[in-house]
Amino acid sequence: MSPARAVLVKIAGGLSILALWEMVARGFAAAYVARPSGILRVLPQTLGSEAVLRGTAITLWGVTQGLIIAVILGTAVGLLMGSLKLVERLLGLYVNGLYAMPMIAILPLLTIWFGYTSKTRLATVVFASFFPIAMNVADGARSVPAEYLEVARSCRARPHHLWFGVTLPSSLPYLLAGVRLAVGRALVGAVVAEFFVSVDGLGFYVLFQSRTFHHNQAFVAVLLLGAFALAIDALIAWLTGRYLRWHRPGEDRR
C-alpha cells in the first residue's frame, strides 16, 4: 500500500469511529454528554481559555519535572542494581514489587507527607515513573555482553570508564524503553493526583468540567493529555533515530 493510501485508510478509520460516536450520542445520550460535533464547537474557545492554558502548563511542567527526576534516579539505581550483586540483592525485590503495585494505593500516604499541594503530584509522578526506568536499566546493565567489558579492561579502563563508557551506553536502548513505559504512568499519576488532592492542572480541569456538565470541554483536556503522550513518543522515536542508530533490535548485540 502506498504511503498516501495508508494515511487515507487511517483517516477513514478515525472518521468512522467519530461518526459512530456522534450517532450513538445523539440517539441515546443526554445533551451534556460529549460528542465530536460538540467538542469541535467548543475547541477553539476552550483551547484559548486561560484555565486550559494554565492547567496544561502546570500539569505538563509537573510531569516533565517528575520524569527528569525519575530518569536520573532510575538510571543511577538501575545501573547500581545491574552491575553490583549486593545492590541487586538489597533492592531487587522491592523495585520489582513496587513496580507492580498500583500507585493509587500510596497516594493517601503521599498526601500526608506532602500535603494537599502540587508536591504530591510531583511525588506521584516520580513514584509512578521511577520503577519502570530503574527496572529496565537494571536489565540493560545486567545484560552488557562480557566482550565489551573485556575490551574495556584490556584497554586498562578504570571503574568510571566501565560505568559511563560501557554499561551506560550499552543499556541505552533499555533506558529508552523504560522511559516510554514511564511516560504513560507519569501522566496517569499526575491526573490521578490532581483528582485526589484537587490541585490546579489539566486533570483537575477535567474533573471540574465533568462535575459541572461541561463534558465537551472536559474532553478537550483529555485530548490534550493524549497529544502530550504522542509528542513524547515522537521525541523518543527521534532520540532513538539520532542516538541509537547503532542499535539493531532483535539482533545479537555484538
Among the listed ranges 6-14, 15-23, 125-133, 143-151, the one in contact with another protein (CB under 8 A) is 143-151
DSSP state of 106: G
- The CB-of-144 to another protein minimum distance in angstroms stands at 11
Count CA atoms closer than 13 A to 110's CA, side-chain side.
24
Nearest to 204 by CA among 216, 185, 191, 186: 191
56 vs 171, which CB is nearer to another protein? 171
Question: Could you tell me the three cell numbers for 160?
Answer: 568510571
Cell numbers 492542572 correspond to what residue? Answer: 201
Encoded one letter per residue, x for contact with another protein by CB under 8 A and - for no contact, window 151-170 reads xxxxxxx---x----x--xx
Amino acid identity of residue 180, one-letter, is R
Which whole-number Å values give the CA distances from 250 to 169, 173, 247, 254, in the listed order? 17, 12, 9, 11
Q: Decide if residue 172 touches another protein (CB under 8 A).
A: yes
Q: How far is the CB of 167 from another protein (least distance, A)?
A: 12
d(CA 186, CA 173): 20
For residues 113 and 243, which CB has a smaller minimum distance to another protein in the complex? 243
Binders of another protein: how many residues, by CB under 8 A? 23
Q: How far apart are the first and last CA of the chain?
A: 35
| In the complex, minimum distance from the CB of residue 225 to another protein, in angstroms, rounded to a whole number | 34
- Evaluate whether 206 touches 221 at the Cβ level (below 8 Å): yes
Contacts of 25 (CB under 8 A, 6+ apart): 33, 34, 35
Q: How far is the CB of 173 from another protein (least distance, A)?
A: 10
Q: What residue type is assigned to position 79 of the chain?
A: L
Dihedrals phi, psi of 60, to nearest 5 degrees:
-65, -35
Question: Which of 11, 44, 113, 150 touches another protein by CB under 8 A?
Answer: 150
Of 1 and 155, CB closest to another protein: 155
Q: Which residue, 118 or 167, is less far from another protein as judged by CB?
A: 167
CA-atom Rg of the chain in angstroms = 22
Mark 219-248 with x for binding to another protein (rule: CB under 8 A) and - for no binding.
Answer: -------------------------xxxxx
Give least dist CB 181 to another protein, A.
Answer: 22
Judged by the rule CB under 8 A, the positions of this chain that interact with another protein are 147-148, 150-157, 161, 166, 169-170, 172, 244-248, 251, 253-254
